[in-house]
Amino acid sequence: MDPIIRNAVLADVPAITALYADEVRNHIATYEHEVPDEAEMERRMHGIQTAGYPYLVAEADGLFLGYAYACAYRSRSGYRWTVEDTVYVAPEAQYRGIGKALLAKLIEICEERGFRQMVAVIGEPANSASIALHEQLGFRIIGIFPGLGHKHGRWLDTVQMQRALGSGNRTPPSDE
């Protein structure tokens, strides 16, 4: 299945909301406890896009397969060249290269926009699929934070991975 990767639009919000709702309710990829409604997911998407970060959707034959976006890693100005990635793939589309296509396009766009580092924050070291996906695209594990979150009645460890974008930290940013 060769997905089409494109910018997310308002018409994608219901599918994005439904996929994220399943993650919130049933899984630990996100440590969010309450399912946001479509209005909130639209607000989040708009905020990310307005701030100059990419928000992407994967589809094939008109079917929604997943989404990905980059956003600020931290709010302090010294972090402005670092982004955090998020990738969610619909259950029926997993293990078909959709996540890799989304993340590869996200990396490409972030490099074009001058970002220098990308960080992945992955819920639980047991999320081997997400870790493997990131490793395939050049990320390396930087650390594991034990017990950083709590969900579904248990403490969760968090994996942090990092990948340089463009020339990374070998050269100063263009606007400094």
* 17-39 pLDDT tens trace: 999 999 999 999 999 999 999 99
Show me where the domains of the chain are located.
4-164
pTM given for the model: 0.95
Spatial distance between the Cα atoms of 90 and 142, rounded to a whole number of angstroms: 27
pLDDT at 127: 93
What lies within 8 Å, CB to CB, of 51 at 6+ separation is 71, 72
Report yes or no: 109 and 55 within 8 Å, Cβ to Cβ: no
Topology of the domain covering 4-164:
Aminopeptidase (3.40.630)
The pLDDT tens digits of the residues spanning 50-87 come to: 999 999 999 999 999 999 999 999 999 999 999 999 99
